[in-house]
Amino acid sequence: MRFDAKVALVTGGSRGIGREIAKAFAARGAKVAVHYRRDLAAAQATERLLDGEGHIIVKADIAQAAAVKQMVDTVAERMGKIDILVNNAGIYEELPLPEASYEEWVEYFPRILSVNLYGAANAIYCAAQHMMKQGGGRIVNISSRGAFRGEPVAPAYGASKAGLNSLGQSLAKLLAPHNIFIGTVAPGFVETDMAAKRLSQPDGDEIRRQSPLNRVAKPEEVAHVAVFLASEGAEFTTGTIVDVNGASYLRS
C-alpha cells in the first residue's frame, strides 16, 4: 500500500509507537508532520529517520484546545492539506485508589483525560474540518488493551482509552458519509519508553508471559496496523478496533 501525495499528521510522533508510525507512512510515500510536546531533539531525530522529503515538525500541548487547533491548521497550511490523522499522543500515570488522597484523585482524572481523550477529540474535530472540505480522510486512534481488561492501578488511563474507543466508533458512523473513515488500534504492552520502567520491574517477565509469544509488541507491529487502517481499500473497516496484544487478552 502506498500513500504518495498524502499528508499524515502523527501526534506523539517523536518517539516510540509514534516514531514507528511516522516512519511507516513516510516509507510508503507520505509526507509526515511529526508532532511533539517538549522534546524537540527527539522530534528532529524522528524527522531524520523518515524516507523522502517534505516532512515537518510541529509543537503543541495536546491538553490545550487552542494549541491543538493551531497545530492542525499549521499542518494544513504548510503542507496544503491533511489526509491522515493518527492520534497517538498519550500519557500514563498510576494512582491506586487506596493510596490516593481525594485531592490527588480529582486532579488525576482531568490530567490524563485532557490528553488521551479530550486532546484526541479536539484533534479529530479540527482535522475533520479540513478533511470534509477536501472530500475525505482517514483517522487512526491508538487505544489500549486496558480499555477492555481494566487498569486497576491506572484507572484514568483505562477510562481515557475506553472513551477513545467509543469516540472513534461514534464518529465513524457520523463521518462516513463525508468519506472520513476511522479505525482504532488497541495494543497491549509495547517496547517503548513509556513501558520500559514497568517491563524492567520484577513482574516484567510475567507481563511477557501473558502472551503465548512470550514477549510484548514491537512498535513497528502497531505501526503496521495503523498503516492498514489508513489505507485505500480499508474503508469498510471504519469503526473497528484492532487488538495488537499477542493474544494476551482475548475479548468476544
d(CA 234, CA 252): 22
Known catalytic residues? 157
CB under 8 Å to 99, separation ≥6 — which residues? Answer: none
> Which of 34, 76, 70 lies closest to 52 in space, CA to CA?
34
d(CA 47, CA 175): 31
Q: What is the value of pTM for the model shown?
A: 0.97
d(CA 130, CA 229): 19
Q: What is the pLDDT of residues 205-222, one digit of tens each?
A: 999 999 999 999 999 999
Q: What is the mean pLDDT of the chain?
A: 97
Burial of 44 (0-12, 13-18, 19+ CB in 10 A): middle
Domain map of the chain by residue range?
7-244
pLDDT at residue 194 greater than cutoff 80: no
With cut-offs at 50, 70 and 90, classify the pLDDT of residue 198.
confident
Mean pLDDT in residue range 8-31? 98
Q: Which amino acid is at 148?
A: F
Q: What is the pLDDT of residues 140-175, one digit of tens each?
A: 999 999 999 999 999 999 999 999 999 999 999 999
d(CA 41, CA 94): 27
Mean pLDDT in residue range 48-64? 98
d(CA 179, CA 18): 25
Q: Check if CATH label 3.10.20.30 holds for domain 7-244.
A: no
SS3 84: strand
With cut-offs at 50, 70 and 90, classify the pLDDT of residue 195.
confident
Q: How far is CA 17 from CA 12, 69, 99, in A?
A: 8, 23, 31
